[in-house]
Structure 1
């Protein structure tokens, strides 16, 4: 019997429900899909085709710790799985994993996320919704800063402005933009 403790990533995502329908052929394990997507995002992938391309380019490395019996999933598989994951459940698992990593590294975790302020839009008056990007110190449960996103811009352009306002040296910073999580 293998007594090796499960990897922190797998353990953190153990409770995440696989959104795919039972009874269908599931060629790829959910943890393989999550691991490849996370590594690809860290490596700069910003869409599902890039995630698949990254996985194929690094398949030898991934096979050192993932079975990958059916190879690297297609970009369509990545897209379908992530589109059907429950965001709150994924966020909770991801947060648990980041907390574990930060604890082992002795680092603080700062989560950066963009939000649209509900009720801030008035179409009749020509007022567009307010979008902002904020930094959250997860351990302290404290907002470290927030900046508004310029009109005709996006969250990505506001992040450098936010990072100039806060002290991040020595911290592990994660960014969630348009459903693709980067760390």
Structure 2
């Protein structure tokens, strides 16, 4: 969030902010806010943010927690040769809040950032969903160590595993699957999407 947006936030909530400090001169200008924010210890702020979110939000058993990486829009500064900021966040689907987040230098660093984020969170008995970037043995093991379950996407970045899935689950298998399954349908972005969830034994080639 830019200094300008923080200033707008302050003006709109000035009476509420006065409960926590003196604002005899009103809300500071953009540059002052930006200077203060730039001097905050990012690691200390990250730790306090996660502790605050965990106090505000009680995680219940069976909750879905989605972990995803996003590049912050407008964070790239060409003039200062400063790359865009990339954040890996844990999002509670149940309550619509971010439970924690970790900054990375680039999207390619998500693999190392995800275990770091997992270490910060209480995940016991919850389902952790991650896209194909997080389909790694170390990440799956970390989630198991936290006594949680995982749902990981499998794509071409894991060539051997992806091929094993295609061999075990060809498309024609899903049209008349014999085991336990559950399907949903919805219209999204002008197209009809069908999702099929199946239960299957784990074979060695899928490990």
* Class of the TM-score when normalised by the shorter of the 2 chains: 0.3 to 0.5
Give the structure with higher Rg (CA).
2
Choose between structure 1 and 2: higher strand proportion: 2
> Which protein, 1 or 2, shows the higher relative CO under an 8 Å CA cutoff with sep ≥ 6?
1
TM-score (norm 2): 0.34
